[in-house]
Chain A
Amino acid sequence: MVAEEEKRERKKRSVPPPGDGTLLSTTMPWSWKDFFLQWEWMLVAVLSLVIVVNSLISPFFLNWHTFIRTPASFLDKAFIVFPMMFVIILGKIDISVGSTVALSAVIMAVSYNAGLPMGLAILLCLGVGAAAGAINGFLLVAFRELSFVIVTLSTMIIYRGIAYIILGNRASGGFPEGFSLLAWGSLGGVPIILIAFVIAAVSFGLVLHKTVFGRALFAMGHNARACRHSGINTDLILWTVFTLNGLMAAVTAIFLTSRMGSTRPNVAMGYELEVIAMVALGGVSTSGGVGRIGGPVLAIFIVGFLGYGMGLANLQAPIVLVVIGTLLIVSVLAHKIRFQGFKLFRARSTAATAGEKNQEV
């Protein structure tokens, strides 16, 4: 009875039994249960479901050619998903990216039409995006008392405003022939945008999971103060991540403009929210510190194929939004319940044992 109690006590506090230092093992623990409890499996299941339903709606969907061409229609915003994932791992949010897309696209179009060579116009576009992000980062680092929501909300309005000032409420296009190949062309049967997407996914994944920079991101998301005390240059990291977010928004601007053939100041409205939704659906915690690259990648395809399939079924765009919103909230709830349900249960059982103890006294 006493031994039983002691065992329970020990389990509750999960303090290892007293012993010598030789206990410290350096082999990574592994269990099949943990492996299959990963959120990505849930996303794989949802994605499979979407694909099955799509192929029921249209017999042509599972045709290899269609299947590999479809992503070209929704991958443009995927480029922001990765840096946004970094931002959210830091425990922050950047809602200015949609406006950054519009501003950099507008400046690219206007400068090209003013006589700049297309190559330089594209570089300028990337530069504008990076600068827009860097300004966000600077404001956050220089004025700690400003919240990231207020900063990026303000720049969201400002960047969109500048785009309107430059172009008015008009469209600008007339790009050279080759520019549309970015969105529509393919290399060896694989769309260029898909190749670019894979390169981005792999690069961001490696940086996040294999480098010092990625490690610091996760650490800052959990406890930025401890990071500063550990000698990590937290300001530099914050700044870099927001700059990266702006830069990738410009990449999105390039692919989006290439797909549309022209641009106007009101493009990419609401992109920031769609992107944040994909990151959250991908299992990245909005409180920071948690996430793996595979989740958002799967989420991009879930949302993309879902929208495409609903298009096939002739459902209107607003209904697509409702479905995606519902999917997001259900998935986040499922995610929470999976972790917290466990904890709640444990808390209740400890409370119960404490109650017993009190009665004994």
Chain B
Amino acid sequence: METKILELQNVTKVFPGVKALDNVQFDLRQGEIHCLMGENGAGKSTFIKVITGVHAPDEGEMLLGGEPVLFRTPREAYKAGIAAIYQHVTAYPDLTVAENIFMGHERVTPWTRRIDWARMHREAQDLLDSLDANFSSRERMGNLSVARQQIVEIAKALSAQARVLVMDEPTAALTRYESEELYRITEDLRNSGVSIIFISHRMEDIWRLADRVTVFRDGRYIDTWEAREITQHDLVVAMVGREISHLFPKRKVKTGDEILRVEKLGRRGFFQDISFSLKQGEILALTGLVGAGRTEVCEALYGVCSWDSGRVFLEGAPYRPGSPRQALEAGIGALPEDRQLEGLILQWEIGKNISLASLGEVSRRGWIQIARERDYAGGLAKKLSVKAPSIFTRVAALSGGNQQKVVVAKILSRDLKVIILDEPTKGVDVGAKAAIYEIIGDLAEQGYGIILVSSEMPEVLGLSDRIVVMKRGRVTAHMETAGATQEEILRAAMVSDQKEMAHGEA
């Protein structure tokens, strides 16, 4: 029996309103590559943060080499030999590779404690050579490609004698060739005895690398398999798993005329060749993995950023907003992906937040009519059943779900035709989710055309009329929701094999 280098038992982590990890277990053997999979929001990130000492678990135990450990800071975890490489490299772009590798544990001369540059560069170069990297330790970090920066991060972890290496979606930003390079390095590391937790959405990563696979779902541990013993189908089912619950009262809304038509929309480096149309009362789900370009398409439609090819028609007329203000005037409103950053003024009370998008409605010749504003905001807040003692309650004090309702109330105050909802239930607890689904259904009934961006399969299947799946900036599938399955969608969102994709579309 192999030795378990890292073991987590019954770990639970609760954030206000959300149980991010619920009684999770995990073990890592000496010298294996263990893939961790799950949908967005399955708890993978929280899990890494627990391992690397960013978050302390609320319950449960962590054993490193058989000894119980509790890391209070990332530094403690690092010293114990647990290093992490994140999707977005967190380096110092203006420093050299060697300086990046030895950041925090620089090599110094014995007595004078001056930095020993010669030794640092020699050791850095040795590390790079051991990884077969053909670039110099004197290179400026910012000049390197993402793939090479990741190699530097790996070298950094090795320099700290890491026993456990956590790699968070390292291949997400890499080309196929660069991925191959990374696979080779990762395998070499395993063969030299390092234990690796590899987090990825990409099926090819799993088949190419994994010794074992563990799936999380909704913050819960589902199961662990030997990679040889599981099929792609079983894995997808395990990740999606649940039945579509009664959360979604499927309503039959009669769709009306086409209101929005997007033709071959493209923005270099973000998305290409995006086409779809939207009818009155229709809910169109735009799905795919995080980073597939969904948010960027929405931002283009809402005037936050521009597009450089293709056309959009709103009720038959060409539409090209220069700013969200123009989009709102034309009749397109959006619920931003990050409600705290883009949707709300947290320091303000509910009422003032709601009226912010429609100050024209509550004012006369530029003068705000206080009484009218209160009635107006109060009415909208009641309509969306925001739960708070008063419209003078600060939104910072509200739960995620109630904050989201305030943002919806805000955009509803405008005269809209199309509403874009970008991850409307992100960070929202189950009860509030149901309320938001209810609202989305109501909006469709009232004749709004709705674009729903979501990564949650049940949400996509339970709410939408049609589904557009995106992967790496392109539409990979376009289907009617009736008859679509979760497996089909996930395959279109994740699988890169062209044949299999064609199969998914069929």
Contacts and interface: CB of A to CB of B under 8 A. Distances in A.
Interface of A: 13-16, 18-29, 210-213, 215-216, 219, 222-223, 225-233, 289, 361
Given A229-B336, A233-B325, 20 more contacts: A13-B397, A24-B386, A24-B389, A25-B391, A25-B392, A26-B375, A28-B392, A212-B363, A212-B367, A219-B345, A222-B346, A222-B347, A225-B341, A225-B342, A227-B356, A230-B356, A231-B329, A232-B325, A232-B356, A233-B323
A232 B326 CA distance: 10
Contact of A231 (B342, B357, B381, B387): B357
The 3 closest A-B pairs by CB, nearest first: A21-B385, A231-B328, A25-B390
A15 B392 CA distance: 14
Contacts of B342: 225-226, 229
A119 to B, nearest CB: 30
A219 B358 CA distance: 13
Nearest to A14: B397
Contacts of A16: 387-389, 393
A23 B324 contact: no
A21 B345 contact: no
A23 B393 CA distance: 11
Nearest to A9: B16
B197 to A, nearest CB: 25
B391 A26 contact: yes
B347 A25 contact: no
A110 B392 CA distance: 55
B4 interface: no
B251 interface: no
B352 A215 contact: yes
A230 B357 contact: yes
Nearest to A214: B368
A211 B366 contact: yes
A16 B329 CA distance: 35
A214 B179 CA distance: 53
Nearest to A223: B345
Contacts of B343: 226, 229
A25 B378 CA distance: 8
Contacts of B351: 26
B368 A228 contact: no
Contact of B381 (A19, A24, A289): A24
B300 to A, nearest CB: 14
Nearest to B362: A212
B324 A361 contact: no
22 contacts: A15-B399, A21-B381, A21-B386, A23-B389, A24-B381, A24-B388, A26-B351, A29-B392, A210-B367, A211-B363, A211-B366, A216-B359, A223-B346, A226-B345, A228-B304, A229-B336, A231-B323, A231-B324, A231-B327, A231-B328, A231-B329, A361-B58
A72 B166 CA distance: 70
Contact of B345 (A24, A25, A27, A222): A222
A229 B357 CA distance: 8
Given A13-B16, A24-B391, A229 B345 contact: no
Contact of B304 (A19, A28, A211, A229): A229
A15 B398 contact: yes
Given A16-B388, A230-B410, A215 B359 contact: yes
Contacts of B146: none
Contact of A222 (B348, B357, B374, B378): B348
Contacts of B356: 215, 219, 226-227, 230, 232
B147 interface: no
Contact of A25 (B58, B346, B360, B389): B389
A229 B390 CA distance: 25
A230 B329 CA distance: 11
Given A24-B381, A24-B386, A25-B389, A213 B16 contact: no
A230 B387 contact: no
Interface string B411-424: 00010000000000
B414 to A, nearest CB: 7
Contacts of B344: 223, 226
